[in-house]
Amino acid sequence: MSAEPTAQLFIGRLSSAATASELERTFCKFGELVRCEVKRGTNMCYAFVEYSSPDHAAEALRKCNGMPVCGEDIVVQFARAAARKRDNNNCFRCGREGAFARESPRMPAWLGQAA
């Protein structure tokens, strides 16, 4: 079973000097852009580019992966879905409700989920 094609790309290894307008100029050659958003962290910079069509995103991925932008060779991948929200308040390490992972010892895998 294959996943549905996505029109959203993740751009990694982006130079901190890169701007949204520069990325728009680079990526608009492959189709209509819906969104171009640059994210900046302490030691990293990345972006998301979204097209109106998954076909345009696929072409941009093929042509732009490894392309130099602002002196850095970028990595282009299809964006993954956001992480799912947890349904409960249980600790992901020990399974107890209301416990925090930093306070819980790691449970060996052979013990299974705590009661």
* Cβ-based burial of 7 (10 A; exposed 0-12, middle 13-18, buried ≥19): buried
Distances (CA, A) of 17 to 52, 64, 72: 27, 18, 10
CATH number at residue 67: 3.30.70.330
Evaluate whether residue 86 is within a structural domain.
no
Evaluate whether residue 104 is within a structural domain.
no
Asked if pLDDT for residue 112 goes beyond 60, the answer is no
Give the domain extent around 45. Answer: 8-78
Helix (H) or strand (E) holding 64: helix 54-64
CB atoms closer than 10 angstroms to residue 45: 18
Spatial distance between the Cα atoms of 7 and 52, rounded to a whole number of angstroms: 7
Overall pTM > 0.85: no
> What integer pLDDT is reported at residue 42 of this predicted model?
84
Evaluate whether residue 23 is within a structural domain.
yes
Q: How many domains does the chain have?
A: 1
Side chain identity, residue 38: V
CB atoms closer than 10 angstroms to residue 48: 15
Model confidence pLDDT, tens digit, residues 65-80: 999 999 999 999 999 8
